Structure 1
Amino acid sequence: MLDAPRPDEAIAEWRARFRWQIPARLNIAAQTAGLWAHQAPDRTALIHVEEDGSRKVFSFAEIDRLAGRLAAGLLHLGIGRGDRVGICLSQSPEAALAHMAIYRIGAIALPLFTLFGPEALAYRLADSGTRAVIVDPGRLDALMSVQADCPDLARVIVTGPEPVPAGTIAFDRLIRDATGTPPAILDTAADDPAVIIYTSGTTGNPKGALHAHRVLPGHLPGVQMPHDFPPRPDDLFWTPADWAWIGGLFDVLLPAWAMGIGVVSQRMRKFDPEAALRLMATERVRNTFLPPTALKLMRGVPRDRVPADLTLRSVGSGGESLGSELLDWGREVLGVPINEFYGQTECNLTVSCNQRIEPSPPGAMGRAVPGHEVLIVDEAGQTVPDGETGEIAVGAPDPVMFLRYWNNPAATEAKFRNGRLLTGDMGRRDADGLFHFMGRADDVITSGGYRIGPAEIEDCLIRHPAVAMAAVIGKPDPVRTEIVKAFVVTAPGVEPSDDLARALGAHVRDRLAAHEYPREIAFVTELPMTATGKIMRRVLKQREATIGD
């Protein structure tokens, strides 16, 4: 935990006195619902708001009790320590219970975005060797369509109304039928694996970042810094970010519960900025993580339609640097400064700002969060002088750092140099210790708050019979930061057309995810290639920039 500076304490002294206190034995379930079920059993853990406005409120004692019964059900199904269990659910009580139950028995959680198409699901499930998936009825058909391609997938657990289809297991019944004393939370080591979160594929397929139980306490300073040092009385967290991504799960849900703070959840089929503002006002949300795209869309809501009774205490945002206009809007309309932070799936929340104690100018992400060593390095992995541009790196070991990529030792080895994790992002540090994001060293596309890898989309496109070759880049966009744009060489005898472009977009959307489909498609006769046959995406980006100018 990161304490706020004392009134008479210099910031440098405050930073210097921080020390990690990570116990050798810990379990995420024990550090969250399990802890507060004993210390404050009646305290609100989760407020779930349905689309019609109805609410369900769960105490920490209820979450712990139900998670214990679900854990017993998973054990009865033969799921145990080290087994991978997929969670293909939106923000919901069922998703939160699934995480608690999986950690409780020492299994490994695999969050899966509910908008993933069959191919995206199949790759992640097969690569991870997932044994069971907890899924909502809306995604069941997509999951069942690829079960044959996932040889380890033996159990499919379905939430929602009963009865459930043959060959599947009802989530509610699994809890209801659990008998006897729930299993105790497994005694796990801090370095035991807890969760796999797949990253965006850039030069290949997505990689599964395997994190240990220590990742939760490793996140806490990076959550407390931008949220002005919770817990405070009446703190209550919410984010529109899905819990399938590290931002929703480890920036909000699990850290909030580790601090004994309640969380608001809601299934948002599509982000509605006005509805989001109303939700925060109605539920009296005090702390929120709002991705940059959400903030930009909220800024478009007319002032007379912004609720006057917002009670926000802190707003954090990460994914890209925010401009002065958006920061000024936040202070004026939301009533609080927007504190920026930086991280990635493999090593999250290592840079942040807190405008109250360490003001940062627009364009700066902030300073290294206490406990993390963040540097700018050259191609040899050596630290560069302040003011020079290089790659952002993080010193190892670090509690928030991933263990390894699942089944990918070569990629794991390439991620480190000279004992430092390489983020793949370019930046610089100024003389005041402030970090500035300069761009991506790889080709990841940032769109609508998602980090999207081009390789998976390109692979999907070339599976279409009308496509011979494809390259994907991010095209700058004022709302989404970037949109996915594809350059397509058609197969012999196939004529480019608007109908074909629409068909290719639908092809990607239906197989991968709605946020990954190319919103623009340009048909070309050839793609720029290196001598070794690699697509030169940077050339396409340069061409796009020239056209934009």
Structure 2
Amino acid sequence: MLYQPPRQRDRLPAPPAAVGVPVRFNIGTAAVDRWAAVEPGRVAVLDLHGARPATATYGELRDRSDRLALALRRLGVAAGDRVAVFLPQGAAAIVAQVALYKLGAIVLPLAAVFGPEALAYRFADAGVSLAVTDARGAARIAAIAPAPTTLRDVVSVDGRDGAVLGLDDLLDRETGPFVPVDSASADPALMIYTSGTTGQPKGALHGHRVLAGHLPGLRFSHGGFPQPDDLMWTPADWAWAGGLLNAVLPALYHGVPVVARRGEGFDADGVFRLLRHHPVTRAFIPPTALRMLRAAAPEGCGPLRLRSVTAAGEALGAETRDWARGALGCAVEDVYGQTECNYVLGSASARGAVRRGAIGRATPGHTVAVLRPDGTRCEPGEPGGIAVRRPDPTLFLGYWNRPEATAAKFIGDWMTTGDQATMDRDGYVSFLGRDDDIITSSGFRIGPVEIEECLLRHPAVAAAAVVGQPDALRTEIVKAFVVLRDGVAPSADMAEAIQRFVRQHLSAHEYPRAVDFVAALPMTTTGKVMRGVLRGRG
């Protein structure tokens, strides 16, 4: 093993306080450059992708991101431009994001599971001017038809290939250093797409302050964080708000190295090997992944070095929580939020801030309530909608080019989440469910519209609707109800072909794991699909 944690006597330089968000703040300089200035040899990323572990230091991340920022500026990237980062876990993903933050561009992180159609929509909606990716991602981008009109260049970490530029070739032409933009904390920095129920996914635009806003919650949930020998890992894609903002960027900000591990799907045995053989002390693991670990090794595989684990994206469940405490050797803390406003609720066993059956209470820096539809607060125990009051440091700036959708998200100064819950007299929130058609599967929140539109592009499909079906492992799975075209017979082979079509064209986490062929879809008199009726069919 190449990586050894720092000795316990080594001291961590104290990071700036994050109780109040500073007026001037830049994610790139805060997460990387600040540490590179005082301890350039400090390990920032432990990459387990190759035959042997490799490390990247804060100094290396700073220098490469400086040179990349210079190269991208030479290619015409300017402040406010939307640039896609379509990369798996690894130092290259950090370098690309940090370079763009320093430039003042808007980072559009894209999940490795996205196929050409999912990419095409996001590229067109955001007006992406450049993409940083690898050879696999470049091939998917090349498959977009018609080609995105705003996309000028594609840069690949795997080298030049035809019209695709090679990252190392660009870096070799630059010497640095780069002077980062003097960004305000509210300047746009990051856009993550979130699925809706009445249309295509929406881009939730965040300012640089989003990182500062996550720091108090992370320290609240991870008791005693950071420690000198801490090491952070998450199986979540670094393009997902949970992976990026609940783990990677806050860990780097605090000088804690992050583990990068890539692979196809979730490999429970591989995860246990990772936890046994590498000194991971902190982790963000979605509930579905925890349930998979439990199924693979009911007794665990200790002893492990874990001090704390957080989970978010779906209900954890008491049985999984109890198993994890024994098998992993530490408590699993619930964390709650949305792409639009994240890490607003949480539990913290080390602080005594935990109540069985509850998500947790408001984390430091956030005001959370359960509201009636008219915006008044519910009484303790009364069901209502979870809402977060602005101003809030992790609150999005708005949906990209959708002012009406942004306005509809609020009741006065309260951002509504669409999640139903109760709150007790001590402020602990217990989750009840969604009040719309969002499907929660393996931690992902999935809107039905994008999947339905993909299904309709299959030559055998005349009409389609998708809903969430309860599932013990994933909370819900995507279930499709499909009306076939005349002359096409339903069969198991046809169902598999439809599943494969969505998986290839959209993404691996959105394809329907169940397909029912029906003669017609239930419709309202105004022509809307009655998804509630479909959910009742099981």
Question: Is it true that 1:100 corresponds to 2:98 in the alignment?
Answer: yes
Question: Is it true that 1:498 corresponds to 2:492 in the alignment?
Answer: yes
Shift of 1:352: 0.1
Normalized against structure 1, the TM-score is what?
0.92
CA-atom RMSD in angstroms:
1.5
Range with greater deviation from structure 2 (143-152 or 269-278)? 143-152
Question: Is it true that 1:176 corresponds to 2:175 in the alignment?
Answer: no
Q: Which residue of 2 aligns with 1:236?
A: 231
Distance across 1 between alignment mates of 2:391 and 2:355: 30
| 1:412-440 superposed Cα distances (whole Å, 9 cap, x missing partner) | 11111121101111111122311011101
Shift of 1:238: 0.5
Q: Which residue of 1 aligns with 2:22?
A: 23
Distance across 2 between alignment mates of 1:470 and 1:51: 42
Distance across 2 between alignment mates of 1:435 and 1:408: 30
Shift of 1:479: 1.1
Distance across 1 between alignment mates of 2:298 and 2:468: 32
Q: Which residue of 2 aligns with 1:405?
A: 399
Question: Is it true that 1:282 corresponds to 2:277 in the alignment?
Answer: yes
Q: Which residue of 2 aligns with 1:134?
A: 132
Shift of 1:59: 1.4
Shift of 1:344: 0.7
Distance across 2 between alignment mates of 1:368 and 1:88: 33
SS at match of 1:515: coil
Distance across 2 between alignment mates of 1:51 and 1:523: 44
Give the residue type in structure 2 aligned to 1:243.
W
Shift of 1:188: 0.5
Q: Which residue of 1 aligns with 2:184?
A: 189
Question: Is it true that 1:485 corresponds to 2:479 in the alignment?
Answer: yes
Count of aligned residue pairs for this structure pair = 522
Give the residue type in structure 1 aligned to 2:188.
P
Alignment of 1:126-525 (within 5 A): 126-146=124-144, 148-160=146-158, 162=159, 164-179=160-175, 181-302=176-297, 306-525=300-519
Distance across 2 between alignment mates of 1:428 and 1:526: 38
Range with greater deviation from structure 2 (276-285 or 245-254)? 276-285
| 1:466-512 superposed Cα distances (whole Å, 9 cap, x missing partner) | 22211101111111111110011222333222222111111111110
Distance across 2 between alignment mates of 1:393 and 1:302: 38
Alignment of 1:522-541 (within 5 A): 522-541=516-535
SS at match of 1:539: helix
Maintained 8 Å contact 1:132/1:154: yes
Give the residue type in structure 2 aligned to 1:43.
R
Shift of 1:51: 5.0
Distance across 2 between alignment mates of 1:89 and 1:98: 9
Maintained 8 Å contact 1:112/1:244: yes
Q: Which sections of structure 1, spanning at least 5 residues, go unmatched?
A: 1-17, 545-549
Maintained 8 Å contact 1:126/1:149: no
Range with greater deviation from structure 2 (425-434 or 509-518)? 425-434
Identity %, equivalent residues = 47
Distance across 2 between alignment mates of 1:93 and 1:257: 12
Give the residue type in structure 1 aligned to 2:47.
H
Alignment of 1:29-40 (within 5 A): 29-40=28-39
Give the residue type in structure 2 aligned to 1:96.
I
Q: Which residue of 1 aligns with 2:41?
A: 42
Pick the aligned partner of 2:59 from 58, 61, 71: 61
Give the residue type in structure 2 aligned to 1:172.
D
SS at match of 1:126: helix
Shift of 1:531: 2.6
Give the residue type in structure 2 aligned to 1:389.
P
Shift of 1:39: 2.4
Give the residue type in structure 1 aligned to 2:346.
S
Distance across 2 between alignment mates of 1:186 and 1:359: 40
Range with greater deviation from structure 2 (523-532 or 118-127)? 523-532
Give the residue type in structure 2 aligned to 1:117.
G
SS at match of 2:137: helix
Distance across 1 between alignment mates of 2:307 and 2:454: 43
SS at match of 2:221: coil
Normalized against structure 2, the TM-score is what?
0.94
Q: Which residue of 2 aligns with 1:9?
A: none
| 1:41-65 superposed Cα distances (whole Å, 9 cap, x missing partner) | 222111111153x111111111111
Maintained 8 Å contact 1:88/1:114: yes
Distance across 2 between alignment mates of 1:429 and 1:493: 54
Maintained 8 Å contact 2:81/2:129: yes
SS at match of 2:523: coil
Give the residue type in structure 1 aligned to 2:38.
Q
